[in-house]
A and B are shown apart, each in its own frame.
Chain A
Amino acid sequence: MNFDLNKKKLTDINKYLQNIDRKSNVRKFKIENPSGHHAICAGLKDDIDVTINGHTGYYCAGMNQKASVTVNGNVGTGVAENMMSGKVFVKGNASQSAGATGHGGNLVIEGDASSRCGISMKGINIIVKGSVGHMSAFMAQKGNLIIFGDADEDLGDSIYEAKIFVKGKVKSLGADCVEKKMDEKSINELKKIFKELNISENPQNFKRYGSARKLYNFKIDNAGAY
């Protein structure tokens, strides 16, 4: 089924996609002329497949559950923010805060992602095939941020239990973020993610970063780290 945002209101399209008739066999949808609209495919909650042909604004596929959303274009701030499950594929670049606070599912960005990619992530897997901007994985709590390119300043600042994998260069690490051994468990974890997403890449080409856990409880001796 095709929707055209030049002809149909965003709210009507979102409402349709959020309330799929389970008796219907239609599970694949296309959205044409997104024209930078915000909140396209926000709040989807069913196992459907949506392709958006063009560029989107803020919060595309926000709070997604179960659905697979593909954007043939660039995305604005907060793509797949607070995603719970499902898959979001961005064929172009992503603006700030991609995958912010995501609890689950997979976000794959073919191009670059701007600053604060994966900020406060809570279990999501974010794969960026290009590079990421500054303060990515800031206060990241859980999940994996996998960067094929480079990472800008202060990567993983104040990180909790999330894991960061970088193939390229890291300009600088943020407070309490350190390089960690690329152990067998992490290699297997990456293998599993790559397999699920049909990505041909050798996990051993990546370096791993995570929390030194020195700032978990406030100690006055660490005040200078902030």
Chain B
Amino acid sequence: MKKKGLKEFKTFPQSTINEIQRAAKEGIYQIRGLGAKRKVPDFDDLVFLGASMSRYPLEGYREKCNTSVVLGDRFAKKPLKLDIPITIAGMSFGALGANAKDALGRGASSMGTSTTTGDGGMTKEERGSSKYLVYQLLPSRYGMNPDDLRKADAIEVVVGQGAKPGGGGMLLGQKINKRVAGMRTLPEGIDQRSACRHPDWTGPDDLEIKIQELREITNWEKPIYIKVGAARSYYDTALAVKAGADVVVLDGMQGGTAATQDVFIEHVGIPTLGALREAVDALKELNMHRKVQLIVSGGIRTGADVAKALAMGADAVSIGSAAMMALNCNADLYRKDYEKLGTEPGYCHHCHTGRCPVGVATQDPKLEKRLDPKEGGRQLKNYLTTLTLELQTLARANGKSDVRNLEPEDLVALTVEAAAMARVPLAGTNWIPGFKEKD
């Protein structure tokens, strides 16, 4: 415990000193899971104005408020029709155990929404439990095969992810058991570091041709998503549209990962808030807003986050870390096992170790048993139900009968930074920093 009168170095707080001394001892960067831990401007820095003299609210428990969304109707013959605009983000079998993938499928399906594969391919359990399954095409192409491509309901070409734009996947040897190794055509127990670039295309012109190939193989039925990490979001979104995407998935820096360097997670990419604004700008300038759908992810936790993302122009959101937390990630259970990892509930980011105390991010059969897929599916369903009810509550309060009718005009910012990033006025003013009305 800190003694009275002691003054901590602001430049060198204890956590920084610990990290310097760990680096001095081990000579290697820190690898960890989940997303950025630093504070960045986020949806908490925005509030809704609600109804007033000039805006009429809807009755909270009587008047309907639509939450359904259609994704991928630009070119695909069979777009996805989801009941709620909250989808489950791509997380691999390998990073997560089979029970966790099963639970995600069960929870998502019961709410009429989609879940997503990850680096490592599609498992039978996942396909079986997922009503709508998005199949990722990643640089590694682990487990990629045309039969699974045809079984998918949509295809997501992963260019990058928010936790590490420019970085490939990583799965350390302790999680590469026989089944995971077999699916990835790799020896057991090796540190698997996926490629960061696709092997057979470079740049948006090539990607356009790649998408054509995917459509030819799947009879032009499946919606094609392009997922990008939040970096140059305006240009990335415009180029994704140019390449022929039906849907753009934009993942902000708060988005999670199974394992990567801490320095990558904390220092590369931009917050979801700023990236979303840029992406919507690009879609509007191309007259493609609502024609090419935008899914935003990275730090979505509550129905308020969902509502604010939609108000800023997203068509849907995607959740990864929060979905894991609904399955007990970081829950105050099995405390001794957290201690063995040198952490405690609320602080754990040890997905990379394979020793997940709650059985979500592990391939260890004993630990995996701690997650019952049925119970996990029920918990995820409850969580998604709560998010949806919160979303509808806010939409009705702003007088909207469809959650996608929420608009930037419904929002104000509580900080100058958030006002500038989201391009909504600072609360109580008409000031948007850095924005000038065109003549």
Residues of chain A whose beta carbon lies under 8 Å from any beta carbon of chain B: 10-11, 14-15, 18, 38-39, 42-43, 45, 57-59, 62-63, 65, 77-78, 81-82, 84, 96-97, 100-101, 103, 116, 119-120, 122-123, 138-139, 141-142, 160-161, 216-218, 220
Instruction: From A38, A65, A96, A217, give the contact of B213 (CB < 8 A).
Output: A38
Residue numbers in B under 8 Å from A220 (CB-CB) = 26-28
Chain B nearest CB from A200 CB (Å) reads 31
Size range of the chain B interface in the assembly:
20 to 34
Using known A-B contacts A39-B209, A45-B146, A160-B186, determine if residue A116 contacts B199 with beta carbons closer than 8 Å. Answer: yes
Residue numbers in B under 8 Å from A62 (CB-CB) = 213, 217
Instruction: From A39, A45, A101, A218, give the contact of B141 (CB < 8 A).
Output: A101
Check B415 for interface membership: any CB of A closer than 8 A.
no
The docked-state distance in angstroms from the alpha carbon of A52 to that of B145 is 24
A43 with B201: CB separation less than 8 A: no
Instruction: Offer 30 A-B interface pairs, CB within 8 angstroms, sorted by A.
Output: A10-B216, A11-B216, A15-B219, A18-B219, A38-B212, A39-B216, A43-B216, A57-B209, A58-B206, A58-B213, A59-B200, A62-B217, A63-B146, A65-B147, A77-B201, A78-B201, A84-B145, A120-B140, A120-B141, A120-B199, A122-B185, A123-B185, A138-B199, A139-B195, A142-B185, A161-B187, A216-B173, A216-B191, A217-B189, A220-B28
Those 3 A-B pairs whose CB atoms lie nearest each other, nearest first: A43-B217, A78-B200, A101-B141
The docked-state distance in angstroms from the alpha carbon of A82 to that of B145 is 7
Residues of B125-149 contacting chain A, CB below 8 A = 140-141, 144-147, 149
Check B264 for interface membership: any CB of A closer than 8 A.
no
Check B190 for interface membership: any CB of A closer than 8 A.
yes
Using known A-B contacts A216-B187, A220-B27, determine if residue A101 contacts B145 with beta carbons closer than 8 Å. Answer: no
Chain A nearest CB from B177 CB (Å) reads 15
Check B301 for interface membership: any CB of A closer than 8 A.
no
The docked-state distance in angstroms from the alpha carbon of A160 to that of B216 is 31
A59 with B213: CB separation less than 8 A: yes
The residue in chain B whose Cβ has the minimal distance to the Cβ of A116 is B199
The residue in chain A whose Cβ has the minimal distance to the Cβ of B27 is A220
The docked-state distance in angstroms from the alpha carbon of A18 to that of B187 is 34
How would residues 181 to 211 of chain B score, 1 for a CB under 8 Å from any chain A CB and 0 otherwise? 0000111011100010001110000100110
